Amino acid sequence: MADHLLSPYRAVVSAQLRSQLSYRSSFWTNLAASFALGLLEFVEIYVLLTVSPVLGGLTFAQATLVFALANLGFALADLVCGQIDSMPTFIRQGQLDGYLLRPLPLLPQMMTATFELRRLGRAAFGVLALIMACVWLDLDWSVSTIYLMIITPLIGALIHGALFVLAGGLQFWLVDGAEFTNGFVYGSSYAGQVPGSVLLAPAKIFFTFVIPA
């Protein structure tokens, strides 16, 4: 039964993957650009911790671990739910009406409508940063540590995925308010990747207690 329900989505995603991989030069260029985006965000952490070896009680290696877990969580959410960013376009062009006419749930349709494999580049950099942080910190690999390393990015992905869905839903009322909602979606990602001490007090309070990044 479950296989029957998932087969339409598998077919859509499979077709899109074949389409993207058929233009290999374009695919690898986009993948490299996505990887470079994660690298660029990491450079900011590097610059901050080069000027101040300890920032907010975190060393460079510790800040790298925080960055890697937060970045990986957001990258996974972006891979699965990032397409919902296009909700204003779907509404204006009438694509949403087409989705609503199909005998399938709306959200899974939107999540698979424009599945972009290039977003794996950002997730790949998150994994690389996590490996580097673990090597630099020489962690004690207990069961609880391994569990924390696995569950943290997954929970982060669920939180950011929920923000993507919430931001997409608000577009029914905001229409062209994607920039407004992106401030919270991408702002929470940024807040989670940097040591809290670099944020101004209002932003630190908001993203800690209102949007747990």
Q: How many CB atoms lie within 10 A of CB 115?
A: 19
Under 8 Å between Cβ of 34 and 122: yes
pLDDT at 123 over 50: yes
d(CA 60, CA 51): 11
Stretch 139-157: mean pLDDT = 89
Q: What confidence tens digit (pLDDT) does each residue in 68-110 have?
A: 998 898 888 888 888 887 777 777 777 777 778 877 778 887 7
Under 8 Å between Cβ of 51 and 65: no
| Residue 195 binned pLDDT confidence (cut-offs 50, 70, 90) | low
How many degrees, rounded to 5, is the angle at CA 208 between CA 203 and CA 213?
100
Mean pLDDT of the chain: 77
Task: Report the number of secondary-structure helices (H) and strands (E) in the chain.
Answer: 10, 0
> How many Å is the maximal CA-CA distance in the chain?
57
| Residue 127 binned pLDDT confidence (cut-offs 50, 70, 90) | very high
Question: What percent of the chain clears pLDDT 90, i.e. is strictly above it?
Answer: 8
Ranges 157-166, 168-177, 201-210: which has the least confidence: 201-210
- pLDDT for 113 equals 74
Q: Which residues are CB-neighbours of 45 under 8 A, at least 6 positions away? A: 60, 63, 64, 67, 193, 194
Return the DSSP state at 119.
G
Phi-psi bin for 171: left (phi > 0), alpha (psi -120 to 50), beta? alpha
Secondary structure, 3-state, 127-179: HHHHHHHHHHHCCCCCHHHHHHHHHHHHHHHHHHHHHHHHHHHHHHHHCCCHH
Looking at the DSSP assignment, which residues form a beta bridge with residue 55? 58
Stretch 50-72: mean pLDDT = 82
Q: What is the pTM of this model?
A: 0.79
Q: How many CB atoms lie within 10 A of CB 40?
A: 10
